[in-house]
Amino acid sequence: MSHVYLNGQWLPIEKAHVSVLDRGFIFGDGVYEVIPVYNRRVFALEAHLKRLDRSLAGIRLSPPLDAEQWQPIIARLVQETETDDSSIYIQITRGVAPRDHAFPANTQATVFAMAKPMTAVPEEWLSQGIKVVTHEDNRWLHCDLKTTALLANVLLRQYAVDHKAVECILIRDGFVTEGAASNIIVVHEEQLLFPPRNHLILPGITYDLVIELAKKHGIPFKEAPVTRSQLQEASELLMTSSTREIVPITEMDGKKVGAGVPGPLFRELLSLYQGLK
């Protein structure tokens, strides 16, 4: 039986418990990270741990473990997972303290990590594309931090589910930000358009890698604000995330995207991305 890591201990998941006074439970006062594993090889670990530390710094919480200390924990999680492809989930909160909004003094962080099998993206998503809807981005202004306070994202993702869609593309003040649980890339006038990596979006690891692939292979791209009209006029739309990689979007708000089938840039980028693994 595989175990989870909790505050220095290895436990069966049913025996892993945290206090009801943990600030992650009371306030959502914590951050998390999800790291993909392919054929028992951890993918882009350095980039994921750097993002974890950046999120911790953003909520003014000192990293309880450094990259060297994470290595054996992650290695054991990978080793004990039943499947070759999995994802590592890490969550760190500010710890247990009497309920008070202000930061407590001298509190030990709660550190939790587990692995679970990674479900492959359905083949029809890649061959036919997926349906999405759009919605006004009504989240807070620090979306660049991967915090556990995800209620707004949960509601937006449920909005997609309610409309029989896979994802919800968010728009703030007339400009595309990201998906409820993904990044969005727009193909407009034969150019990849990436909404800028600022405080309004989470800088996705897959998103960053696609930008690097475009640079390396001479694919025209621009990282700049993307308007609602450019989104609506797109010839292709792509969704990226660490566990879903790159997925084509072929229907948005009940209308076809481009020709309504996965396009050539999607196929090229997916092939290039698969070559990184």
Categorise residue 85: left if φ over 0, alpha if ψ from -120 to 50, beta otherwise.
beta
| Diameter of the chain measured on Cα atoms | 58
**CA–CA dist 177, 231 (Å, integer):** 11
**Hey, which residues are catalytic here?**
146
Strand-pair partners of 249: 130, 237
Q: Which is it for the CA torsion 165, 195, 126, 52, positive or negative?
A: negative
Q: Residue 262 corresponds to which amino acid?
A: P
**CA–CA dist 246, 194 (Å, integer):** 14
| Size of the chain in residues | 277
Closest CA to 247 of 82, 74, 128: 128
